[in-house]
């Protein structure tokens, strides 16, 4: 009986543990040339959607002269993931008239920060 109680406690302890989650970060950004093109076409704001879920809307005139680095950019998408987990997502960026400007897949990895330069 004592062994059964100890065994039950051990099984319960194993089931009660949760896996630790880490944050993966993905940045989307564009340079001055792209910002000027957006302005020339009358685009004033951009909205990011990941897997059809709204993330953020920004002022289209905001831009970077070079890769802004990990965790910054026009758009930053973060997600909690388990150790050694990778996820593929699909992004879409629309302008203020709901016209699709950019789209495509991207892969996120836990504890990593990646960036994508949006080009014309």
Q: What is the pLDDT of residue 2?
A: 61
SS3 73: coil
Q: Return the minimum-mean-pLDDT range out of 9-13, 51-55, 58-62, 95-99.
A: 9-13
pLDDT in tens, 58-98: 999 999 998 888 788 999 999 988 777 789 999 999 999 99
Question: For 95, how many CA atoms within 13 A lie in the half-sphere containing its CB?
Answer: 14
Q: What is the pLDDT of residue 16?
A: 45
Tokens of residue 8, six digits: 């039950």
CA pair distance 58, 1, nearest whole angstrom: 64
Q: What are the structural domains, with CATH classification, of the chain?
A: 19-117 (2.60.40)
Tokens read off for 90:
């699909």
In this model, does residue 55 exceed pLDDT 90?
A: yes
For the chain, give the percent of residues with pLDDT over 70: 83
Return the structure tokens found at 113: 């920060």
Nearest partner of 90 among 74, 80, 77, judged by Cα:
77
């Amino acid at each position: 009986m004592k062994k059964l109680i100890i065994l039950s406690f051990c099984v319960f302890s194993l089931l009660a543990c949760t896996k630790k989650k880490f944050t993966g970060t993905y940045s989307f950004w564009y340079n001055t040339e792209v910002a000027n093109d957006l302005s020339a076409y009358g685009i004033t704001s951009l909205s990011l959607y990941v897997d059809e879920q709204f993330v953020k809307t920004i002022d289209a005139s905001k831009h970077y002269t070079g890769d802004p680095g990990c965790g910054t950019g026009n758009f930053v998408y973060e997600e909690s993931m388990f150790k050694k987990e990778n996820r593929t997502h699909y992004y879409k960026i629309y302008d203020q008239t709901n016209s699709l400007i950019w789209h495509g897949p991207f892969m996120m990895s836990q504890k990593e920060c990646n960036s994508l330069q949006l080009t014309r």
